[in-house]
Structure formats: structure tokens, C-alpha cells
Structure 1
Amino acid sequence: MATALPTGLVAGTYAVDSSHSTASFTVRHAGIAKVRGTIGIAAGTITVGEDLESSSVRVELDATSVSTGDANRDQHLVSADFWHAEERPTWTFESKAVTAVADGYVVVGDLTINGVTQPVELPVDFEGTAKDPFGNQRAGFESEIEINRKDFGLTWNAALETGGFLVGEKVKIALDVSAISQN
């Protein structure tokens, strides 16, 4: 049985507006604090089908654009210790299925970071649609997941004198996406 689209969302192709969308992350540092950062969204396409099940998402992130507020840390993150951004500058998410759940939607797909692909389930909130002052029809989406960085080959760490490690394994990723109808 086909699931109807959310109210206000119409079938068609939507281009992710990189200048009004963000991909951010949070990871524990030294077990006592959190480091937050952003990664630029290079490109993205949301294809909304006539029903939810025939919809799809593809997004590319620019790993070289990381910003944590500390240039030295940013350089370390893009190095071979972590992201190998010189060799693998693009991270991707490509959906396999879109379904409705009681409190929103779930987009199941493959997330590729550092050349390693893992299946993920993104819980998605549809934030609605609006026409901007330039006549563009926009749609808004939000998602937040937690991944284990080691699942993506991101294993660099340093032991602390007091026990534990410098960088936490769990990484929270939040997406705030504004997409413009191309119809």
C-alpha cells in the first residue's frame, strides 16, 4: 500500500540548498567535553515520488570543509589519521527506502565516510514547505543519528594518563536541510 506524501510536499526533484543547509557533528573529547563541528554539504538531490515509497535521497558532503573552530584540529581531522580527505574528499548518503513511522519518517540508506560504506537509518522530520522571497518553493527536513566512528575505519586515538581515550567512539550527526523545488 502506497503512503501519501506529507501535507504540502509535492512530487518532483528538490536540490539541496547548500548555503541554507548544515551537517554538524558532536563527539566526546577526553571523556569530559564535547567537540562540535560542521561539514559542508557539497550537493544533494531529494526526489519526491507520487508516494513516499517511490522517493529517494542522495547527498554529498565535502570532508575537506570541516570547521570545529580550531584550525589545527581541522587539519588533523582531514589528515590520514582520520578522514584521508585528500584521497577521499567526498562523503555520501544514498537512500534505499523511505517509510512513514508514527512520529515522522525513516530514510534507510548507505552512508559512506572515509571510503567505508555502512547501512544507516535516518529518522527524518519534515518541517514543511514555504515560498521564499525569490519565488522558490522550499521544503525543510531535519535528522539526527549517532554512529560509531570505528565502523567507518576512523580508529585514531590517544590514551589518556588518567585512563580512557582522547576521542570518543560515538559521533552524533545532525542534518538541517533546505531544498529548492526544481519543477
Structure 2
Amino acid sequence: MNDLTPGTWTLDPAHTSAAFTVRHAGISKARGQFTDVEGVLEVGAGGENLSFSTTLKTESINTSQPDRDNHLRSGDFFDAEQFPELRFVSTKVEGDKLTGDLTIRDITKPVELDFTYEGAATDPFGIYRAGFTGETTISRKEFGLTWNAALEAGGVMVGDNVKILIEAEFTAPASA
């Protein structure tokens, strides 16, 4: 990653996806994403000592189902009024692992993501950009997201394990 300019890079929300998948009714998967994301990437000399921090607005959850989105914003899940943000702050980047603290509903837990540097390039408008992908699975119950409903045939409506996929694009510091 020695092609990364040292300094503070800004997350480009138009080219970033903060998506998730969770088991639904034991037979399929529900997918969604947070559309209001902010973040920075700090890069040290020689492209070393990377650190990431990002904020996702809980109000921006989008599963393409307005009723489900409203339920997810309610106190049964994210309680967007009381907890307007999800936060991630990295603590270590080592090889293909990104470790950090994830905060949901003011509960902070360490998480480890499989991490890929996708490369850097200058776009047609002269903006230098870098891309990264991170993937992990968390237990939603560990973050206080415990709502569920029993199914008549057995099992529950919402699975515990949530797969998270982040595809992030950052723009270089203005002085780059």
C-alpha cells in the first residue's frame, strides 16, 4: 500500500456500500444497507500504519421494505432515535485482517474483518482514490439486538448471525 499518500483520506459515500445479510424465517436471507455513511482513513508514511473510522446513521437503514425498515429503526432493533449511529474504529491492520471496535446501541465489541486493499487510481476528474473491502460475521444479540418471533413450524424469524460486507472508497488528502 505504498501507493497511498500519507494523511487523512475521506470516505466517498457515493462509492461505498455498508451492507448486511441475515437469515430470515430460517429459509432465506434478508439483505440491507446503511446509506448515510461517513468516515476517514489515516495513512502513515509509506502507506503504513493505516487506521479507519466510520459512522453509519441508523435512520438510513434500507432493506427495500419500508415496513421492515421502520421496524429496524424502532426500539425492537436499532432504536434510531436513542442510538442514531453505529460506529467502527480500527485498532489494528495486519495483513488481511482489520481489527477494531464496533459500537451498536452503545455496546462496543471487538470485531475482526477479512480485509482487502483493492488498489488506488486517479479518476477521470483528477481525484486519487483507494478502495478497500472488509467482511465479517457478528452475533446481533451481543449488541442488544435481541428481538425475535417464534415460527409456527419451529425456529425463529430472524437469525442471530449477521454477515457484514463493507466496500469502501476513499479520496486522497487535498494536498495530494
TM-score of the superposed pair, with normalisation by structure 1: 0.91
What is the CA distance between 1:55 and its match in structure 2? Answer: 2.1
Counterpart amino acid of residue 28 in structure 2: A
1:133 to 120, 124, 127: 124
**Distance 1:116-1:82 versus aligned 2 partners, 3 A rule:** same
Aligned partner of residue 153 in structure 2, secondary structure: coil
Aligned partner of residue 64 in structure 1, secondary structure: helix
Give a deviation string over 1:57-112, Cα, whole Å, max 9, x none.
11001111011111000000000000011111111000111112xxxx21211000
Give RMSD over aligned pairs: 1.3
Alpha-carbon distance in structure 2 between the residues aligned to 1:120 and 1:51: 26
Asked if structure 2 preserves the Cα contact closer than 8 Å seen for 1:23 and 1:41, the reply is no
Asked if structure 1 preserves the Cα contact closer than 8 Å seen for 2:4 and 2:47, the reply is no
Asked if structure 1 preserves the Cα contact closer than 8 Å seen for 2:16 and 2:167, the reply is yes
**Distance 1:167-1:80 versus aligned 2 partners, 3 A rule:** same
Look up the match of 1:3.
none
1:11 to 6, 16, 19: 6
**Distance 1:122-1:67 versus aligned 2 partners, 3 A rule:** same
5+ residue gaps in structure 1?
A: 1-5
Give a deviation string over 1:41-67, Cα, whole Å, max 9, x none.
421000011256632111001111011
* Greater mean alpha carbon deviation, residues 7-16 or residues 146-155: 7-16
What is the 5 A alignment of 1:13-162?
13-50=8-45, 54-100=49-95, 105-162=96-153
Asked if structure 2 preserves the Cα contact closer than 8 Å seen for 1:52 and 1:98, the reply is no
5+ residue gaps in structure 2?
A: none
Asked if structure 2 preserves the Cα contact closer than 8 Å seen for 1:17 and 1:177, the reply is yes
